C-alpha cells in the first residue's frame, strides 16, 4: 500500500482511529489480502499432504527427478508431490477427453509459444 505511513522500527501500533476513513479502508484491504494469501497457502499445503497420503504410487511414478533413496513404502514429501504435479501439468492441459472448464481457462490464458512446459506435451 503506497500511501501507508512508514513506521520506525519497534515504534508500536498505529492508531487507525486517528486516520482518515479512506486510509483505514486501505489498511483493512491490505490485511484482508494478507489473510487470503495465508489461507490459500494453507489450503495448497493441505492438498499436497492429502495427495501424498492418498496417491503416493502416482506421485512416485511421476516424480521424474533424483533423490538418493526412493522408498515406495514411505510417503513422499510436499516438495516431491509438488514436483510430480509440475511434471504432469502439461499432460493435464493437453488431454482432450472432455476438456474441463479449468483446462479451457488455463489454455486460453497460456501463450503456448512462450511456455516451455506446455510444448513438451504437444
| pLDDT score recorded for residue 98 | 61
List pLDDT tens digits, range 80-109.
999 998 888 777 777 766 667 877 787 777
Side-chain-side CA neighbours of 77 within 13 Å: the count stands at 5
Here the cell at position 92 is 493435464
Give me the pLDDT at residue 116, please: 59
What's the predicted TM-score (pTM) here?
Answer: 0.66
pLDDT tens digits along 10-63: 777 777 788 888 888 888 998 999 999 999 999 999 999 999 999 888 888 888
DSSP state of 114: T
Amino acid at each position: 500500500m503506497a500511501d501507508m505511513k512508514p513506521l520506525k522500527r519497534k515504534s508500536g501500533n498505529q492508531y487507525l482511529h486517528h486516520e482518515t476513513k479512506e486510509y483505514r479502508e486501505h489498511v483493512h484491504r491490505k490485511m484482508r489480502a494478507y489473510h487470503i494469501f495465508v489461507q490459500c497457502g494453507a489450503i495448497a499445503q493441505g492438498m499436497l499432504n492429502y495427495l501424498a497420503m492418498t496417491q503416493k504410487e502416482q506421485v512416485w511414478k511421476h516424480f521424474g527427478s533424483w533423490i538418493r533413496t526412493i522408498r515406495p513404502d514411505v510417503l513422499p514429501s510436499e516438495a516431491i508431490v509438488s514436483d510430480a504435479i509440475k511434471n504432469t501439468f502439461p499432460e493435464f492441459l493437453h488431454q482432450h477427453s472432455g476438456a474441463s472448464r479449468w483446462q479451457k481457462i488455463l489454455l486460453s490464458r497460456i501463450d503456448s509459444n512462450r511456455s516451455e512446459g506446455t510444448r513438451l506435451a504437444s
